[in-house]
Chains A and B, each alone.
Chain A
Amino acid sequence: MPQSKRLCLIGLDGVPEGLLRGLASDGVMPRVAERIAGGHLRTMRASLPEISSVSWSSFMTGTGPGEHGIYGFTDIEPQSYELTFPNFADVRVPTLWDRLGSRGVTSVVVNQPATYPARSIPGVMVSGFVALDLSRSVKPLRWLGPLRRLNYRIDIDTARSRQDHDWLMRDLRQTLRTRREAVMQLWDQVDWRFLQVVVTGTDRLYHYLWDAVEDVGHPRHQQALDYHHDVDTFVGDIWDRFAAEETAPESCFWMLSDHGFCAIRQEVQLNAALKELGYLTLGAEAPTDLTSIDPTSRAFALDPGRIYLNRTGRFGRGCVIDAEVPALKSEITDALKQLRYDGQPVVREVFDAANIYGQGPCTERGPDLVALAIPGFDLKASPATSEVFGRTDLVGMHTYDDAFLLAPRPIEGDLWIGDIATHLEREYDE
């Protein structure tokens, strides 16, 4: 029996509170239902924008993008306008596991998105999405061999799974199985006091088959439920192991998601909208990126809803001077709020970055505005398309304010994912 207090946390990427509650009460996720009965389930806000790299970075640092520096899966090189791909080294503040380590708490972290390439923490780190190479995803490296022997899978083959849903369902299960084996092995062999694992298969399933989750008549509905049942078993196994070793396991067991999900009605291409509105001109005939941006362009977008003013002093071909910024922000905000599909508005809110990110050390690297869509309208920023509205084969999109938190005690009031680290650290004060 461990002598010191231990905490266990399971992340379910992309699972909305309402879905979790429903699947628990319907009997699809009975082990989760037990945990809900023993804890406090509530909704929680994701980050802005509401995507995994930003939300999980906020979770693991307890700060927002203005401080941790991660605004999305992509950033832009200010001179060339080429896309760049920020990684864990760009996270500019210590993580929860660093801070716990300063207090003598050893962590085991498995499949945490936005931690690639892995770096040493006080404990063991196994990086998650967009981790590519297992050898750069594991610290300390002595765990690489054992994980390889388990045929540990970082993620499913997303490219193939998008095309082949039979493959998707098999790959989801296989990946979950190796995840479970890795967690159990590390559980046994590391003297940990904080253990967390994130299941990312849920997010993958929802991107490709959200309709199967929602629609009882969908041919893959039962498969979607079966996967949730597998995830439920995964949660139950971890709980059983934890409960067998701890004297008060209910008080130390947490679950959460990083954002919610809903069905896509239309994809909304913000760069196409900015082109139509006269804010953006790309020189290339068939642009694949923003490198051909015309110096008269006043704004451009990065996925999903990040709007950047093309400012002088910040961007190589910038034309917007500081004095124009307030009026331009207001103008673009109004224009985006006026966007209509079939007579219905598509943008729920356009946030001024200065209001949501504050004055952190990384504020200057962020967007000027962040658009949040009405659920069903999936904001995109492909420079390639000239159509504002359209559909692809993707069926699920992220949502902002229906992530879930299942905590051992009630946490009242407004809550966003960046608040959780503080609550977890406080558990070790006692």
Chain B
Amino acid sequence: MKGFTLWFTGLSGSGKSTLATALEGVLLDRGLQVEILDGDEVRTNLSKGLGFSKEDRDTNIRRIGYVCNMLSRNGVTAISAAISPYRAIRDEVRGSIENFVEVYTRCSIEELARRDPKGLYKRALAGEIPNFTGVSDPYEEPVNPEIVCDTEKDTLEQSLERVVRSLELMGYIPPGEDDHTSPEQEQAIRARLESLGYL
């Protein structure tokens, strides 16, 4: 299979990393080579020292995009799971990578603040965390992402299948075993069709 970059974007807590990790298992199971560049993890090494100003955020995204490009052009599935709040820099990365799939994990601030397992939204809304995306810093929704996961409503299972199915349709990953029909099932289908006169 050809390499590609799967670029998750969405607010903090919207499910990017969870979905990326779940997806990694599916893709490995289908014989793909996979690397995840998680936003939090990247900031502890590749982008260590960068802050949360627009300039630093753009630099962080460019670096992730650079690595994704190197990986995917060598046949690896590169998964970026960083907020990547600014549309222009996302589009810049898109323009530099041949096989680029943008996945928007959509979830409202209200729902994220309600969930808020680490209390970050509560603190940000109280003004205790500066430059917090979606609260005190902008998040620019993608205009035309290849895939939208409505993580406010859908379960992880539903979002995962949505991404997997979309990648199958785009020809980036092969079909899974669950989609195949066993010989026993074929016999049962044949019998059904015969009973209605189709065979």
**Chain A residues in the interface with B (C-beta under 8 A):** 51, 73-74, 83, 85, 87-89, 92-94, 98, 101-102, 104, 106, 117, 119-122, 129-130, 132-133, 136, 139-141, 155, 158-159, 161-162, 191, 204, 207, 267, 303-304, 378, 380, 382, 392, 394
A217 to chain B, nearest CB (A): 25
Q: How large is the interface on B (under 10, 10 to 19, 20 to 34, 35 or more residues)?
A: 20 to 34
Minimum Cβ distance to chain A for residue B148 (Å): 5
The digit string for B173-199, where 1 denotes a CB below 8 A from any CB of A, is: 001001111000110111111011111
Binds A, one of B13-21, B79-87, B117-125, B153-161: B153-161
Residues of B within 8 A of A121 (CB): 158
Shortest B138–chain A CB gap in Å is 21
Q: Would A140 and B155 be within 8 Å (CB), given that A117-B178, A132-B189, A159-B191 are in contact?
A: yes
Roughly how many angstroms separate A378 CA and B196 CA in the complex, as a whole number?
Answer: 13
A61 and B188 alpha carbons, distance in the complex (Å): 27
CA distance A92 to B169 in the complex (A): 6
The smallest C-beta distance from B9 to any residue of chain A, in angstroms, reads 15
Q: Which of B158, B165, B189, B198 contacts A140 (CB under 8 A)?
A: B158
User: What chain A residues lie within 8 Å of B153 (beta carbons)?
Assistant: 104, 106, 122, 191
Residue in B160, B161, B168 whose Cβ sees the most chain A Cβ within 10 Å: B161
With known contacts A89-B175, A94-B169, A117-B178, A394–B189 Cβ distance under 8 A: no
Contact partners of B198 in chain A: CB under 8 A? 51, 73-74, 303-304
Give the complex CA separation of A92 and B190 in angstroms: 23
Q: Which of B45-94 contact A (CB under 8 A)?
A: none
A92, A104, A120, A394 pick with most chain B CB within 10 angstroms: A120
Are A158 and B196 within 8 A (Cβ)? yes
Is B115 an interface residue when CB atoms closer than 8 A count as contact? no
Contact status A132-B185, CB under 8 Å: yes
Residue of A73, A93, A120 touching B158 (CB-CB under 8 A) = A120
Given contacts A101-B162, A159-B191, A207-B196, 11 further A-B contacts (CB under 8 A): A89-B175, A117-B179, A120-B161, A120-B165, A122-B154, A132-B188, A141-B157, A155-B192, A161-B195, A162-B196, A191-B153
Interface hub of A132, A207, A303 (most chain B Cβ within 10 A): A132
How many angstroms from the CA of A98 to the CA of B162 in the assembled complex?
A: 8
Q: Whole-angstrom distance between the alpha carbons of A320 and B63 in the complex?
A: 55
Q: Would A303 and B161 count as touching, CB distance under 8 A?
A: no
Please determine whether B148 and A119 come into contact, CB atoms closer than 8 angstroms.
no
Q: Nearest Cβ distance between residue B70 and chain A, in whole angstroms?
A: 30
